[in-house]
Structure 1
């Protein structure tokens, strides 16, 4: 077993934010579940990661109860659940140690947000020498406000601002930034087809 699926921040915290209505992939839990089932069938490790901001008073504060996997997702016994406080899944967890102990050299990554925690994890993993597959349609993100946009914009104001970067543009830019440098870009369907071909 030298492969692992890393599921990053597919957690109820995001559904608790007004911005969820703008999410690029509202069915992300279904896509992730397909990847999890694929990994388990192949005998790959599945590692779950949640983002946590203790004491912040926001949706990522564990005290509020949102820092938990989306209800559709069910870890199995023996699958680790790590809590991170940085953007990438390595810096504030023992993920690298866990992967090293299990001889993992290939990672498949998915989760929320495409360009933030998932992309950052892929970049760090690539620098660590892992072979990374970034499953683009098993990620999700939101539109990003312009740097000069006022703080505290409402969702309506965000969407009305012509300077806002759409979620679709964010996803496309992530593909361009990662492909051939830090990761191989794939879809859930492509990975399922590849698994069927090997069977």
Structure 2
């Protein structure tokens, strides 16, 4: 069975940028999974530091209004990996999931770490590159011209360890075959 992971779509991240396109793509994918009666699992990052935009029990840590009504499962984490010290693997096992689709924030941290951790645990992984977003920029990393989503997607694709698609490829690959 397949499951969709929607990582860190929280006020403390989404409110830092214009992510309308990414949120729209995530919502389309969520609707596909809901229609196919496949699990949609939201991940929430919670920090212990009060200065953090994702401080536990703060408005910033709450799921963003645009997608929160779709959350049937919510897993809380405190590291970039959605698997480390969480209930995610147990939930996936209980649901009979063997293939996870990755969407959410931040592309180069939590989405990347979760994709690698899922692969390491034996899951088939599909990373939907343009259905991820990041608050960081080329200036953050002092790398002029860096397209973070494309870079992460390229590295993962070249690894030959997991599938990397953009939304249009996802639609072409999965929707017509009613696999989702």
TM-score range, shorter chain: 0.7 to 0.9
Give the TM-score taking structure 2 as reference length. 0.87
Q: TM-score normalised to the size of structure 1?
A: 0.79
- Counterparts in 2 of 1:78-97, with a 5 A limit? 79-97=72-90
**1:139-192 alpha-carbon deviations (Å, 9 max, x no partner):** 01221534xxxxxxxxxxxxxxxx345551x22221222114332011222222
Q: 1:115: how far off?
A: 1.0
Q: How many residues align?
A: 175
* Worse-matched range after superposition: 175-184 or 43-52: 175-184
Aligned residue in 2 for 1:175: 153
Find the counterpart in structure 1 of residue 8 from structure 2: 9
Shift of 1:62: 2.3
How far apart, in 1, do the equivalents of 2:133 and 2:31 lie? 19
1:31 pairs with 6, 25, 40, which one? Answer: 25
* Structure 2 unmatched ranges of 5 or more: none
Q: Would you identify which runs of 4 or more consecutive aligned residues in structure 1 move more than 6 Å?
A: none
Indicate how the Cα distance of structure 1 residues 103 and 115 shifts in structure 2: closer, same or farther if over 3 A, else same.
same
Is contact 1:143–1:166 with CA below 8 Å preserved after alignment? no
Segments of structure 1 that go 5 or more residues without pairing to the other structure are 147-162
Residues 15-67 of structure 1, C-alpha deviation per residue, up to 9 Å, x if partnerless? 44xxx34x6x4432111101100111122110000111024332110233111
1:84 is displaced (CA, Å) by 0.6
| Per-residue Cα deviation, 1:94-145 (whole angstroms, up to 9, x for no partner) | 1001101111100000111111100110001011110000000100122153
What secondary structure sits across from 1:66 in the alignment?
A: helix
Post-superposition CA distance 1:76-106 (Å, at most 9, x none): 47x1111110101000211001101111100
Q: Which of 137, 160, 169 is the matching residue for 1:190? A: 169
Q: In 2, Cα distance between the equivalents of 1:94 and 1:64?
A: 22
* Maintained 8 Å contact 1:34/1:188: no
Find the residue that maps to 2:104 and give its secondary structure.
strand
Larger Rg: 1
